[in-house]
């Protein structure tokens, strides 16, 4: 038997996956901005950063780290 490479809707989950990752990056960026605002207002607990980061991974962590890096004056990508 020969496999049929044509399947209606094949690959349709790819845009959904990319959109999901983008939302995770945005969530990480938002969390970082919220944390930085609390830090600047002297309302952040010293251990809060560790707790926040320990619960993140993947695209969410990437977004969080990118905002923190920019705030610290790191390289801009």
pLDDT for the residue 74: 74
pLDDT tens by residue, 7-52: 555 555 667 788 889 999 999 999 999 999 999 999 998 899 999 9
pLDDT for the residue 14: 66
SS3 64: helix
**What is the pLDDT averaged over residues 47-62?**
95
Please check the confidence at residue 76 and state whether its pLDDT lies above 60: no
CA distance 50 to 12: 37
> What is the residue extent of each domain of the chain?
15-71
Please check the confidence at residue 2 and state whether its pLDDT lies above 80: no
For residue 70, count other CB atoms closer than 10 A to its CB.
15
């Amino acid at each position: 038997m020969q496999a049929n490479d044509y399947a209606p809707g094949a690959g349709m989950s790819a845009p959904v996956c990319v959109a999901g990752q983008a939302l995770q990056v945005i969530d990480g960026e938002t969390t970082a901005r919220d944390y930085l605002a609390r830090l600047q207002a002297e309302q952040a607990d010293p251990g809060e950063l560790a707790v926040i980061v320990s619960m993140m991974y993947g695209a969410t962590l990437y977004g969080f780290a990118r905002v923190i890096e920019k705030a610290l004056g790191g390289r801009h990508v």
